[in-house]
Amino acid sequence: MRQVLHAIGINNPSEKAAYKEIRSAAGRLTVSSEEESKTNSLAPEDLSLYIHFPYCERKCPYCDFNSHALRTKIPEQEYLAAILWRLQRQAERVENRVLRSVFFGGGTPSLLSPRAVGIIIDGIGKYFSLAEDCEITLEANPSSAERRGFRDLKTSGVNRLSIGVQSFDDANLRFLGRVHNATQARVALEQAMRIFARISFDLIVALPGQKNDELCEEITRALEYESEHLCVYQLTIEKATEFYRQATRGLLQIPTPRRAAEIYLLVEQQLRAKGFANYEISSYARSQEAQARHNLVYWRYGDFIGVGPGAHGRITLAGKTFTTLETRKPERWLAQAQSEDEQIQKQKELSAQEKFEESVMMGLRLAEGLPIQIFNRHARELIDDMRAIGYCEKKSSRVCLTIEGRLRLDTIAAELLVACEKTREKIPIKGESMQSMQGAKTNKV
């Protein structure tokens, strides 16, 4: 299950939990050949590339990603050689397909030297065909050491920066275990905006005890910057994290589902008033051009290659769709890469049922929704029912969730999948609480 979650772009902690619930609710789903054909038509021809850098300066207490706090010097040369070899091998599989986006995620890829980033981008250009307007994003932290490399990163070929601000409040940053402070966050944004035409930054909200005025102050500070893109995630507690250990001892509590819904609505209202559109559950943009092209490939169920320790991908070859998973432990991944061990990547073919379920889950996250024609008669009847109570709407030939529907995303997705059976089993969808559809971080915007 974890492999499938990463392969469809769900690295956000609560999104993983939500997806597991949906897979359980829809476990009996069977997909006809007609539905399979409609599902396959969802996948665009765009191809993207995700590069995972597994190292960070310090492990954040909420993070359950494949990231590892540095204990020694970054093995940059070994990592470079391994990445270039993996890029060459992956390019051989996809032949002449064009890359529309590249994303450096982690970990903290801005710990790489700009020179190393440039070498990787040059390697991508050598082995792949790149679209003229290829979006190349790199995640960065606001610390002073990393800020010094912003201009060189642009020279290396990065054209979009995603900055992990998380908060403009020092107390919140300390609670979240971040290595930067609020002043560094503001300076990083100011510098990045002078250098890059496109930037995005993240905020984490729904912290324990966070009041409405404190939340509004965070959003107000974020709006002081002319960024075209912003991601707002709600904090969730994931196993194998320090926050989980605290929560099991009763030392940490996150807001109730009803409070989480209030927070979501408050953020959406404040950002919408300033010209931001909530084009995806956790993502806001001032224009269509500002939307994260890389993540849109995930949400639209397109193909993406994943290279690096623990990197996941999803690729269509000879009409079949596969998920891929590279060796997780950095030391082992480096050793396998140096020996050109083909076992460095595992591969699994996705069934028609899996593709359909994942397509629905991903597509419902987007404001643009899904094509009506992918659903059978039973699901369309349910869609009509949900329209009547204000949970979804039809736009041309697509079905989209309203804001009330987004608060019930998990249950609605499960209900639609169950409705694709010949006999429907009703699941209540009139609850007032917000289901877990956001988290502390996502891969990757």
Confidence of residue 428 (pLDDT cuts 50, 70, 90): very low
Is residue 130 one of the residues assigned to a domain?
yes
Is residue 224 one of the residues assigned to a domain?
yes
Q: Which domain holds residue 11?
A: 2-31+39-299
Is residue 136 one of the residues assigned to a domain?
yes
Number of domains in the chain: 1
How confident is the model over 153-181, as pLDDT tens digits? Answer: 999 999 999 999 999 999 999 999 999 99
Cis peptide before 444 (omega within 30 of 0): yes
Q: Across the chain, what does the average pLDDT equal?
A: 86
* Dihedral of the alpha carbons of 169, 171, 172, 173, in degrees to the nearest 10: 80
CATH number at residue 263: 3.80.30.20
> Does residue 356 carry a pLDDT above 80?
yes
Is residue 205 one of the residues assigned to a domain?
yes
Is residue 57 one of the residues assigned to a domain?
yes
Is residue 332 one of the residues assigned to a domain?
no
Across the range 88-99, mean pLDDT stands at 91
Is residue 209 one of the residues assigned to a domain?
yes
Is residue 306 one of the residues assigned to a domain?
no
